[in-house]
Chain A
Amino acid sequence: MSSTFGNGGGIIMVDDSEADLHLAERCYERSRVANPWRAFAEVNRFLRHLFDEVLAGTAPMPALVLLDLNMPEMDGFEVLDRIRAHPRFGELPAILVFTHSDRESDRQRALQKGATRYWIKPSDVDSYVELFDSLLDHGVD
Chain B
Amino acid sequence: MSAWAQDIGADPGFIDRLAQSQVNGLYVYDVELARSVYVSPRYTDITGYTQGDLDALSTEAYFALFHPDDVGGVRAHIDALARATDDESVSTQYRFRHRDGEWIWLAGQDVPFRRDPDGRVRLLLGSFVDCSEQQAAMNDLERFTYFAAHDLREPVRRIEMLCRLVADDVMNGLPAEKVVPDLDRLRTEAHRMRVLVDDLRTLCFIGARHPGPPEPVALAPLVQAVVAERAVGLEAEVDPLPEVEGYPSLLRALYEALVDNVRDHAGDGVRIRFSAEQAGRRRVFGVYNDGSSVPEARIGRIFDPFRRFARTAGSGLGLTVCRRVVELHGGRIWAESGPSWTHVRFTLGER
Contacts from A to B (Cβ < 8 Å): 16-17, 19-20, 22-23, 26-27, 41, 72, 100, 123-125, 128
| Cβ-closest chain B residue relative to A126 | B164
| Least Cβ–Cβ distance between A100 and chain B, in angstroms | 8
Q: Is the CB of A23 within 8 A of B311?
A: no
Q: Say which residue of A22, A41, A100 sits within 8 Å of B185 (CB atoms).
A: A22
What interface size band does chain B fall in? 10 to 19
| Cβ-closest chain B residue relative to A29 | B165
Q: Is the CB of A19 within 8 A of B158?
A: yes
Q: Say which residue of B165, B188, B308 sits within 8 Å of A72 (CB atoms).
A: B308
Other 9 A-B pairs with CB < 8 A, given A19-B185, A20-B158, A72-B311: A17-B311, A26-B165, A27-B161, A72-B310, A100-B154, A123-B161, A124-B160, A125-B165, A128-B161
Q: Say which residue of A20, A100, A124 sits within 8 Å of B164 (CB atoms).
A: A124
| Cβ-closest chain B residue relative to A123 | B157
Q: Which 5 A-B pairs have the closest CB atoms?
A: A123-B157, A125-B164, A72-B310, A23-B161, A125-B161
| Cβ-closest chain A residue relative to B163 | A125
Q: Is the CB of B160 within 8 A of A23?
A: no
Contacts from B to A (Cβ < 8 Å): 150, 154, 157-158, 160-162, 164-165, 182, 185, 188-189, 308-311
Q: Which residues of B contact A123 (CB under 8 A)?
A: 157, 160-161
Q: Which residues of A contact B157 (CB under 8 A)?
A: 123
Q: How far is the CA of A27 from the CA of B158 in the complex (A)?
A: 12
Q: How far is the CA of A128 from the CA of B168 in the complex (A)?
A: 15
Q: How far is the CA of A124 from the CA of B154 in the complex (A)?
A: 12
Q: Which residues of A contact B158 (CB under 8 A)?
A: 19-20, 23
Q: Which residues of B contact A41 (CB under 8 A)?
A: 311
| Cβ-closest chain A residue relative to B189 | A19
Q: Which residues of A contact B182 (CB under 8 A)?
A: 26
Q: Is the CB of A72 within 8 A of B161?
A: no
Q: How far is the CA of A128 from the CA of B162 in the complex (A)?
A: 13
Q: Is the CB of A19 within 8 A of B308?
A: no
Q: Which residues of B contact A125 (CB under 8 A)?
A: 161, 164-165
Q: Is the CB of B188 within 8 A of A16?
A: no
Can you name 26 A-B residue pairings with CB atoms under 8 Å? A16-B311, A19-B188, A19-B189, A20-B158, A22-B185, A23-B158, A23-B161, A23-B162, A23-B165, A26-B165, A26-B182, A27-B161, A41-B311, A72-B308, A72-B309, A72-B310, A72-B311, A100-B150, A123-B157, A123-B160, A124-B161, A124-B164, A125-B161, A125-B164, A125-B165, A128-B161
Q: Which residues of A contact B150 (CB under 8 A)?
A: 100
Q: Which residues of A contact B308 (CB under 8 A)?
A: 72
| Least Cβ–Cβ distance between B294 and chain A, in angstroms | 12
Q: How far is the CA of A19 from the CA of B182 in the complex (A)?
A: 10
| Least Cβ–Cβ distance between A41 and chain B, in angstroms | 8
| Least Cβ–Cβ distance between A52 and chain B, in angstroms | 24
| Cβ-closest chain A residue relative to B308 | A72
| Cβ-closest chain B residue relative to A19 | B158
Q: Which residues of A contact B160 (CB under 8 A)?
A: 123-124
Q: Which residues of B contact A124 (CB under 8 A)?
A: 160-161, 164
Q: How far is the CA of A41 from the CA of B311 in the complex (A)?
A: 10
| Least Cβ–Cβ distance between A99 and chain B, in angstroms | 12
Q: Which residues of B contact A16 (CB under 8 A)?
A: 311
| Least Cβ–Cβ distance between A43 and chain B, in angstroms | 11
| Least Cβ–Cβ distance between B99 and chain A, in angstroms | 33
Q: Which residues of B contact A22 (CB under 8 A)?
A: 185
Q: How far is the CA of A72 from the CA of B182 in the complex (A)?
A: 25
Q: How far is the CA of A16 from the CA of B154 in the complex (A)?
A: 14
Q: Which of B150, B154, B161 has the most CB of A within 10 A?
A: B161
Q: How far is the CA of A16 from the CA of B189 in the complex (A)?
A: 16
| Least Cβ–Cβ distance between A115 and chain B, in angstroms | 22
